[in-house]
Amino acid sequence: MVSAVHGVMLTTDVPIKQYVLHLDAIAPAEGKFVIADLDERRVLIQPERAEQVKREIERYQQTTQYVAPNAMSKQ
């Protein structure tokens, strides 16, 4: 029997996809959002969680960046 599942397909690079899986893994049971792991660059997630996941990825990317501080300002 063929089934149809609605969702949002995230297409991204390998590391980010792994990070998405990681987010799903550390989420509590009721907060899981990954529906299907499609291939190494794609993952199907619940549509209503898509924005939140994208924000999460954005935040993560920001933490991996080095920004040279402004000498004047106290960081």
| Closest CB to other proteins among residues 14, 25 | 14
DSSP classification of residue 32: -
Element (H, E) at 34: strand 34-39
Distance in angstroms (rounded) separating the CA atoms of residues 36 and 63: 27
Q: Binding residues for other proteins, per CB under 8 A?
A: 1-13, 16, 35-36, 38-39, 42, 44, 47, 50, 54, 57, 61-62, 65, 67-68, 70-72
Distance in angstroms (rounded) separating the CA atoms of residues 56 and 75: 24
- Please report how close the Cβ of residue 31 comes to other proteins at its closest, in angstroms: 19
- Please report how close the Cβ of residue 28 comes to other proteins at its closest, in angstroms: 23
